[in-house]
Homo-oligomer: A and B are copies of this chain.
Amino acid sequence: MKKKDIKDILQNVKEGDLEVGQAMDNLRDLPFEDLGYAKVDHHRGLRNGYPEVIYCEGKTTAEIKGIVEKMMDRDQNILATRADEEVYHALQELTDDLEYHERARIVVVQKEELEQSDSKLLVMTGGTSDLAVAEEAAITAEVMGNTVERAYDVGVAGLHRLLAQKDKMAEANVIITVAGMEGALASVVSGLVDKPIIAVPTSVGYGANFDGLAALLAMLNSCASGLGVVNIDNGFGAAYLADSIINQIEQARDS
């Protein structure tokens, strides 16, 4: 399309329908507008149900409602993260096609059927208090079209519970580990399986935890290689990275 625009301009110049000066004016903004192409998603954008995303924190309910309303024009699925109940009720006024995932604080407006990847994503947590972040990751990944498995409350202090997940770990293509406190889950899992692992520190804990800093540092300093760390409590970011890895895998599978 863009390329076609340039071609049209040149064609018109060639055919004398467009003056050189005018053509230059038309080309003038090319550098910037053309950049839009940079982010074409050769595969992902074509999948059914791939959502538009809105991050609700720091926006008023009115603003969120307005943005979602505009998004709905495009008839795509919508993923609203960090959404509280008030946001949910406000969006109910716009459509009935929506679901509220309370633990994950996510509202999904579903216009199209969700597709499911062949690749598998496993989301694991150290404790039950890490659930909110884990669910943000899991739901986000699902709405982006990924097949998600869960293994919660399998922290390293009870190693047998963790080892009992070996089948799930063996079947996963990508693993997200969510843990607070000393954040050792990622290291131990990374020592058990040879998969891309995304480590999400949570702010769960107190005292010298310093709002997730302890877990964050632990994950960055893991003695086990192969970990990619995201921001504290950033379940969405972990899911997004997982999705972009799975996207590459799916493309390879399809090729």
B188 lies within 8 A of A244 (CB): no
A79 to chain B, nearest CB (A): 12
A212 to chain B, nearest CB (A): 6
A192 lies within 8 A of B39 (CB): yes
A223 lies within 8 A of B182 (CB): yes
Stretch touching chain B among A89-97, A107-115, A121-129: A121-129
B164 lies within 8 A of A29 (CB): yes
Q: Does A20 contact B (CB under 8 A)?
A: yes
Q: Does A146 contact B (CB under 8 A)?
A: no
Chain B residues within an 8 Å CB radius of A228: 198, 227-230, 241
B193 lies within 8 A of A207 (CB): no
Known: A194-B247, A196-B245, A231-B220. Is A10-B35 also a contact (CB below 8 A)? no
Known: A3-B24, A194-B247, A232-B206. Is A155-B13 also a contact (CB below 8 A)? no
What sequence of 0s and 1s flags, for each residue 18-49 of chain A, a beta carbon within 8 Å of any chain B beta carbon?
00100110010111111110111100100000
B225 lies within 8 A of A220 (CB): no
Cα–Cα, bound, A219→B207 (Å): 12
Q: Does A98 contact B (CB under 8 A)?
A: no
A33 to chain B, nearest CB (A): 7
Chain B residues within an 8 Å CB radius of A158: 191
B188 lies within 8 A of A188 (CB): yes
A221 lies within 8 A of B181 (CB): yes
Q: Does A116 contact B (CB under 8 A)?
A: no
Cα–Cα, bound, A24→B67 (Å): 37
A65 to chain B, nearest CB (A): 14
Q: Does A224 contact B (CB under 8 A)?
A: yes
Q: Does A217 contact B (CB under 8 A)?
A: yes
Cα–Cα, bound, A164→B35 (Å): 10
Residues of A within 8 A of B (CB): 3, 6-7, 10-11, 13-14, 16, 20, 23-24, 27, 29-36, 38-41, 44, 57-59, 63, 119, 126-129, 155-160, 163-164, 166, 173-174, 181-184, 187-188, 190-198, 201, 203-234, 236-237, 240-241, 243-245, 247-250, 252-253, 255
A-B residue pairs in contact (CB < 8 Å), sample of 19: A3-B24, A6-B24, A10-B27, A35-B159, A57-B129, A58-B204, A156-B187, A182-B182, A182-B223, A188-B188, A196-B244, A201-B207, A207-B211, A207-B220, A214-B217, A245-B248, A248-B249, A253-B253, A253-B255
